[in-house]
Amino acid sequence: MRSPELCAGDIQAHIPGISDVAFIDRGGQKAVFACAIGGYRYALKLLCAEVDETEVAADATERAIREVATLRECQTPHLVQLGPYELTPVEIHGRAYLYFTEELVDGEDLRSVLRTGPLEAVAVARLGHEVSSAIGCLWEKRRIHRDVKPANIMRRRADGSFVLLDVGLVFDLDETSLTLTGYIPGTLPYLSPERTDLSRKREIDFRSDLFSLGIVMYEALTCVHPFRQGASSSDEVLANILTGVPPPPSQVRSSATDLLDPAIMQLLAKRPHLRFRTVERFQAALAETGLLQE
C-alpha cells in the first residue's frame, strides 16, 4: 500500500479543528503532516483505509490500530506520545482515509545529528538510558518496537533528551501477527540476529530492541556502524550481524572513552541470554560508568 499523496491544503480542508498544516514526510504507508490543534503543534499521520488487490504488506488499518493502542498505553517521556485525535476516518476526494495525531517533537533526529560528528560519551550514556526506558515501557505491555534506529530517535531541542518515535512496526506477543509470511519488518542494518529466524518469531523479547540500541550507541559514539564496516552488500551486512564481532568503540574512535565499551559490547552479544537480563540491569551498568548526569 502506498502512502497517501495529498497536500497540506487537502488535509486542512477536510479535517475539522486543525490549522497551519504543513507536509513533513511520506513513508511506506503513511503521510505525515504538522498541524496546530488548540494552539499546540502536533504530527498528523494519514493512511489509506482502502486495501486494493495488489496489497502485499500487513493490513495497514490493523497496524494503525495497534500503533495507536500502544501510544495510549505506554506513558513515558522517552516514547512519542499520542495526540488529541485517535484513529478517525475521513473521506477526501472520494477516497477513505484514517488519521491520528501524536506529539510533534521539537528537535532533530539522531541520523541528522550524527552527520555533524559523533556524540560525547555523556550524551551517548543518556541516549542509552532514555531510549532503553522507552523499550522497557513497551515490554511492560509485552511489545517490541522492532525498528530502533537513528532515524527513529529524536533529540529534543529544549533539553537534549531523547525520544523514541514510530511504533508502527510494534510487535505484540499477545496478539496475532500482522506481517506477511516470510517478511522481516524493520531496517536490516539494525536487526538483531534472532529477528532473522522467522521460525522463532514469538520467542523474541525486549533484548532484540536492546541489540538495536547497542548498534545505535556504537554509531553515536564513533560515527561508524559496527556491522557495515567492510561490507559491500546487504548480504554481507547481515552476515556481520549474525557472526561478526566488531572492535570495541574506543578502538574505532581514539578520542572515545572506553567506559561505555563493556555495556555496548554486551548489548551486541549474538545470543539474547548473553545480553542484559532486564532493562534495569543495563541502566545500572550505565550508571556505574559515572557518565549519567542527574
Q: What phi-psi label fits residue 197: left (phi over 0), alpha (psi between -120 and 50 degrees) or beta?
A: beta
Q: Kindly state whether residues 224 and 162 are assigned to the same domain.
A: yes
At residue 202 the predicted structure's pLDDT band, cuts being 50, 70 and 90, is confident
User: Which pLDDT score is estimated for 182?
Assistant: 55
Q: Does 137 fall in a domain?
A: yes
CA angle 158, 163, 164 (to 5 degrees): 160
**Residue 96 near residue 48, CB atoms below 8 Å:** yes
Count of domains for the chain: 2
Beta bridge partners of 89: 98
Residue 289 has pLDDT above 90, yes or no: yes
pLDDT at 174 over 90: no
**Residue 147 annotated to the active site:** yes
Same structural domain, 137 and 266: yes
Q: What's the pLDDT score for residue 151?
A: 96
Q: Are residues 89 and 118 in the same domain?
A: no
Structural domain for 151, as ranges = 107-288
1 is a domain residue: no
Same domain, 201 and 87: no
- Indicate the residue among 75, 103, 131 that finishes a domain: 103
- Nearest partner of 281 among 294, 255, 262, judged by Cα: 262
pLDDT tens column, 135-160: 999 999 999 999 999 999 999 999 99
| 226 shares a domain with 182 | yes
Give all strands of the β-sheet with 19-26 in edge-to-edge order.
19-26, 30-37, 40-48, 95-103, 88-92
> Among all chains, which residue has been given the C-alpha cell 554486551?
266
pLDDT for res 53: 46
Tell whether 232 and 184 lie within a shared domain: yes
Label each residue of 119-135 as H, E or C.
Answer: CCHHHHHHHHHHHHHHH
R_g over Cα of the chain: 19
The residue from 103, 125, 141 where one domain ends is 103
pLDDT in tens, 49-75: 875 544 543 478 888 999 999 999 999
H helix intervals, the chain: 8-14, 60-73, 110-113, 121-140, 206-222, 234-243, 249-252, 261-267, 279-288
Same domain for 74 and 195? no
Rounded to whole angstroms, the Cα distance separating 204 from 186 reads 14
Query: Are 139 and 232 found together in one domain?
Result: yes
- Looking at 147, 166, 209, 261, which residue is catalytic? 147
Q: 88: domain CATH number?
A: 3.30.200.20
157 shares a domain with 36:
no
Q: Are residues 58 and 80 in the same domain?
A: yes
Residue 294 in any domain: the answer is: no
> Cβ(153)–Cβ(216) under 8 Å?
yes
Residue 181: what pLDDT?
A: 53
Find the CATH number of the domain harbouring 180: 1.10.510.10
Same structural domain, 60 and 150: no
Of 65, 88, 103, the domain-final residue: 103
Q: Give the pLDDT mean for 246-260.
A: 94
My answer on whether 192 and 114 are in the same domain is yes
Report the mean per-residue pLDDT for the chain: 91
